[in-house]
Structure 1
Amino acid sequence: MSEEEEKAISGSAYAERVRQEVAEMMRHRLSPRTFSGALLIAKKGVILYEKYQGEENHATKTPVTDSSSFQLASISKTFTGMAVLSLVEKGKLGLDDPLQKFFPDFPYLGITVSMLLNHRSGLPNYLYFCDSLIKDRSIFLTNEEVIRLMTEHKPPAQYQPDRHFNYCNTNYLLLATIIEKASGQKYADYLQQTFFTPLEMTGTFVMDPAQAPRPHQTISHLFSWKAEPDNAFDGVTGDKGIYSTARDMLKWDQAIYSGNLFKPETLKAAFTPYSHEKPGIRNYGFGWRLMAYPDSTKNIVYHNGWWHGNNTVFYRFVEDSTTLIILGNRYNRGIYQAVRPLRAILGHGDSEEAGEE
Structure 2
Amino acid sequence: MIIKLNSKDVTMKTLVFLHLWKAVIIIPFTIVCLLIPLSVHAQPAEESVDTAQIDQFVNSAMNELNIPGASLAIVKEGRIVYMEGYGISGPNSSPVTPQTPFVLGSTSKSITAMAVIQLVEKGKIRLDDPVQYYLPWFRVADLEASRRITIRELLNQTSGLSTYAGESTLTTGDESIEQHIRSLKHVQLTAPVGSVFQYSNLNYNILSGVIQAASGQSYTEYVQQHIFKPLHMKHSYTSPDEARKDGLATGYQPVFGFMLPTKQLNHEGTVASGYLISSAEDMAHYLTAQMNEGQNGPSPVLSVKGISTLQKPVAYMGGGSYYAMGWVVDKKGISHNGATENTYSKMTINENYGVILLVNSLDYLDLQSYDKIMTGINAILNGGEIPQIGMSDLERTIFLLVNWVLITILAILAQSVFGLFNWKTRSRTTSGRLLHIVSILFFHVLIPSLLLMTLPKLLVPWSVIKLFLPGLGHVIYFILILLLGVGVVKTALVMRTILKKKHHLV
Both proteins in one fold, TM over 0.5: yes
Partner of 1:283: 322
In the alignment, is the contact (CA less than 8 A) between 1:222 and 1:309 conserved in 2?
yes
In the alignment, is the contact (CA less than 8 A) between 2:177 and 2:268 conserved in 1?
no
The structure-2 alpha-carbon separation of the partners of 1:348 and 1:119, relative to structure 1 and needing over 3 Å to count, comes to farther
Residues 227-272 of structure 1 deviation map (CA, whole Å, 9 limit, x = unaligned)? 2212254542210121111111111111233332222222221111
In the alignment, is the contact (CA less than 8 A) between 2:376 and 2:386 conserved in 1?
no
The structure-2 alpha-carbon separation of the partners of 1:349 and 1:68, relative to structure 1 and needing over 3 Å to count, comes to same
The structure-2 alpha-carbon separation of the partners of 1:229 and 1:109, relative to structure 1 and needing over 3 Å to count, comes to same
Deviates more, 1:253-262 or 1:236-245: 253-262
Deviates more, 1:142-151 or 1:41-50: 41-50
In the alignment, is the contact (CA less than 8 A) between 2:313 and 2:323 conserved in 1?
yes
Alignment of 1:261 with 2:262, yes or no, is no
Partner of 1:175: 207
Matched position secondary structure for 1:199: coil
The structure-2 alpha-carbon separation of the partners of 1:305 and 1:277, relative to structure 1 and needing over 3 Å to count, comes to closer
Aligned positions of 1:219-230 closer than 5 A? 219-223=250-254, 224-230=258-264
In the alignment, is the contact (CA less than 8 A) between 2:230 and 2:301 conserved in 1?
no
Q: Report the RMSD for the aligned CA atoms in angstroms.
A: 2.7
State the alpha-carbon separation in 2 of the partners of residues 47 and 233 from structure 1. Answer: 31
State the alpha-carbon separation in 2 of the partners of residues 88 and 161 from structure 1. Answer: 22
State the alpha-carbon separation in 2 of the partners of residues 272 and 300 from structure 1. Answer: 11
Matched position secondary structure for 1:159: coil
In the alignment, is the contact (CA less than 8 A) between 2:176 and 2:269 conserved in 1?
yes
Residues 64-98 of structure 1 deviation map (CA, whole Å, 9 limit, x = unaligned)? 12221000110111110010000000000100010
Tell me which of 358, 378, 381 is aligned to 1:346.
Answer: 381
State the alpha-carbon separation in 2 of the partners of residues 199 and 207 from structure 1. Answer: 18
Offset, 1:277: 6.9
Partner of 2:195: 163
Deviates more, 1:244-253 or 1:5-14: 5-14
Offset, 1:145: 1.8
Residue identity in the other structure for 1:43: K
Find the structure with the greater CA-based Rg.
2
In the alignment, is the contact (CA less than 8 A) between 1:117 and 1:285 conserved in 2?
yes
Partner of 2:478: none
Aligned-pair identity in percent equals: 25
State the alpha-carbon separation in 1 of the partners of residues 338 and 45 from structure 2. Answer: 32
Alignment of 1:324 with 2:381, yes or no, is no
In the alignment, is the contact (CA less than 8 A) between 1:274 and 1:285 conserved in 2?
yes
In the alignment, is the contact (CA less than 8 A) between 1:39 and 1:325 conserved in 2?
yes
Matched position secondary structure for 2:336: strand
Offset, 1:53: 1.8
Relative contact order, higher structure (CA 8 A, sep 6+): 1
In the alignment, is the contact (CA less than 8 A) between 2:243 and 2:277 conserved in 1?
no
The structure-2 alpha-carbon separation of the partners of 1:12 and 1:91, relative to structure 1 and needing over 3 Å to count, comes to closer
Partner of 2:270: 236
State the alpha-carbon separation in 2 of the partners of residues 335 and 40 from structure 1. Answer: 16
In the alignment, is the contact (CA less than 8 A) between 1:127 and 1:233 conserved in 2?
no
Offset, 1:341: 2.2
The structure-2 alpha-carbon separation of the partners of 1:146 and 1:201, relative to structure 1 and needing over 3 Å to count, comes to same
In the alignment, is the contact (CA less than 8 A) between 2:153 and 2:194 conserved in 1?
yes
Residues 285-314 of structure 1 deviation map (CA, whole Å, 9 limit, x = unaligned)? 0111111x3xxxxx5121100001101011
TM-score by length of 2: 0.60
Count of matched residue pairs = 331
The structure-2 alpha-carbon separation of the partners of 1:35 and 1:4, relative to structure 1 and needing over 3 Å to count, comes to farther
Partner of 1:355: none
Deviates more, 1:179-188 or 1:121-130: 121-130
Partner of 2:235: 203
Where do 5+ consecutive residues of structure 1 fail to align?
294-298, 353-357
Offset, 1:3: 6.2
Deviates more, 1:31-40 or 1:81-90: 31-40
In the alignment, is the contact (CA less than 8 A) between 2:71 and 2:280 conserved in 1?
yes
Residue identity in the other structure for 2:373: A
State the alpha-carbon separation in 1 of the partners of residues 165 and 245 from structure 2. Answer: 28
In the alignment, is the contact (CA less than 8 A) between 2:83 and 2:281 conserved in 1?
no
Where do 5+ consecutive residues of structure 2 fail to align?
1-34, 294-299, 388-506
In the alignment, is the contact (CA less than 8 A) between 1:36 and 1:54 conserved in 2?
yes
State the alpha-carbon separation in 2 of the partners of residues 28 and 226 from structure 1. Answer: 20
The structure-2 alpha-carbon separation of the partners of 1:121 and 1:249, relative to structure 1 and needing over 3 Å to count, comes to same
In the alignment, is the contact (CA less than 8 A) between 1:71 and 1:244 conserved in 2?
yes
